Amino acid sequence: MLIPAMRRYIPQVDAYDSPSSELQAATCERIYQLGNNPHHAWIYEEAMRTPGVAVLHDVVLHHLIVR
């Protein structure tokens, strides 16, 4: 629901659910959604490489950062 709503105001919105070469090559503003889950580790790592806005859908990220 968020992406279609964003597309009304932003000409191009791309979403990624796994690491990809397209994401690495993208030169755009980024919004990262992070949760308390080790499956989000790739998003955290990408956010550390390329700054952007982080949206947290959990209050505590313990299981994301403890491996």
Q: For residue 25, what pLDDT is reported?
A: 77
Read off the pLDDT of residues 13-55 as tens digits, 9 standing for 90 and up.
888 888 887 877 777 788 888 888 888 888 888 899 888 898 8
Task: Give residue 62's pLDDT band: very low, low, confident or very high (50, 70, 90).
Answer: confident
Q: For residue 67, what pLDDT is reported?
A: 61
Domain boundaries, the chain: 29-67
Q: For residue 37, what pLDDT is reported?
A: 85
Contact 43, 32 (CB under 8 A): yes
What is the per-residue DSSP string for 24-36? HH--S--EEEE-S
Write down the pTM of the prediction. Answer: 0.73
